[in-house]
Amino acid sequence: MMNSDARTQARIGVFVPFTNTNLEPDMAMMCPPRVSVHFARLGGYDAHEIPDAHQMAALGAADMEEPIRLLAGVQPDVMIYGCTSATLAHGPEFDRDLATRIWQHGGAYTVTAAGALVHALTHMGATRIAFASPYVSVLNDQAIAFLHCFGIETVSRADVGETLDNVGQGSMTPRQVFDLGKQADSAAADAIVLSCTDMRAVEVISALEADTGKPVITSNQAMLFQALRYLKLPTAHAALGRLFGSDLSAALEDSVANRKECP
């Protein structure tokens, strides 16, 4: 049940990788009035290593007991696991089980970044996507396989063309993110996905939608959208694209029910 004190309608707790510098300002920019956001930082990977599949798998597998305990102290109504690649590296079953563990131990409905992409695409009826991220190529392969498990086909993609470290991913400019999305787009795609919670993708949603004529789904936008739908709070926000202007009358989708069996 949502908090009903005078200061907030709801509290959202977010787990954020400790090198991430963009998720917190994105949430501050996107959140509606009287929704407060509270963060706990996550370790489990090396800040000085390239955030490849091995590093992100280590983050996903890191012990969550203490971060959950600390974040639960603010009694959030929703908890968000704010790293897309950490569970993409493990697959859909791991992503679902992690959300369940956080919900059970934290006492709050849980959204994962990877699951939120599926939720948003399902809500928009998008099954053929253009995919872009700042990840290394192998992680992009894993992301595409993850989405395929939910019946989402990647028909085109764009890699950054260089190996970015943690600072490099977070330092991409909105112009670079826009260009990456444009590079990924193709006539066969009915939506564009910009995956990574530390990429400044939220700032280009409107411009990229206007340029391509297609809905743009980003990790941070999708996470907040799923959280607000669960909380039954309005999501009208012109800067956050077609997803946030879509009809909210339908019941919350259970994306796991649509999951295909993966190898």
Residue 254 has pLDDT above 50, yes or no: no
Q: Are residues 109 and 233 in the same domain?
A: yes
Count CB atoms within 10 A of the CB of residue 210: 10
How many whole angstroms separate alpha carbon 256 and alpha carbon 243? 20
C-alpha torsion angle, residues 204, 129, 16, 201 (rounded to 10) = -10
Q: Are residues 14 and 132 in the same domain?
A: no
Residue 162: its pLDDT value, please? 86
Please tell me the pTM assigned to this model.
0.89
Per-residue model confidence as pLDDT tens digits over 36-66: 999 999 998 888 888 888 878 888 888 889 9
Q: Are residues 169 and 77 in the same domain?
A: no
Per-residue model confidence as pLDDT tens digits over 172-213: 999 999 999 999 999 999 999 999 999 999 999 999 999 999
207 falls within a domain: yes
Domain with 135 in it:
117-219
Residue 7: its pLDDT value, please? 80
Per-residue confidence band for 2, with pLDDT thresholds at 50, 70 and 90: low
Residue 261 has pLDDT above 80, yes or no: no
Q: Are residues 149 and 203 in the same domain?
A: yes
**CA dihedral sign, ordered 219, 224, 227, 229:** negative
Per-residue model confidence as pLDDT tens digits over 234-249: 776 778 999 998 754 3
Q: Are residues 227 and 161 in the same domain?
A: no
Per-residue model confidence as pLDDT tens digits over 115-150: 999 999 999 999 999 999 999 999 999 999 999 999
Q: Angle at Cα 90 formed by Cα 17 and Cα 192, nearest 5°?
A: 75
Residue 27 has pLDDT above 70, yes or no: yes
User: Residue 227 belongs to a domain with what CATH number?
Assistant: 3.40.50.12500
84 falls within a domain: yes
Residue 74 has pLDDT above 80, yes or no: yes
Q: Angle at Cα 149 formed by Cα 148 and Cα 155, nearest 5°?
A: 5
What Rg, from alpha-carbon coordinates, does the chain have?
17
Packing angle of the helix pair 92-106, 113-124 (nearest 10 deg): 110
Q: Are residues 19 and 92 in the same domain?
A: yes
Residue 160 has pLDDT above 60, yes or no: yes
The tally of domains found in the chain comes to: 2
| Neighbouring residues of 248: CB distance < 8 A, sequence distance ≥ 6 | 229, 234, 235
Mean pLDDT of the chain: 89
Residue 201: its pLDDT value, please? 97
Q: Are residues 98 and 144 in the same domain?
A: no
Please tell me which residue, 3 or 72, carries the higher pLDDT value: 72
Residue 191: its pLDDT value, please? 98
Please tell me which residue, 70 or 262, carries the higher pLDDT value: 70
Per-residue confidence band for 96, with pLDDT thresholds at 50, 70 and 90: very high
Mean pLDDT of 2-21: 83
256 falls within a domain: no
257 falls within a domain: no
4 falls within a domain: no
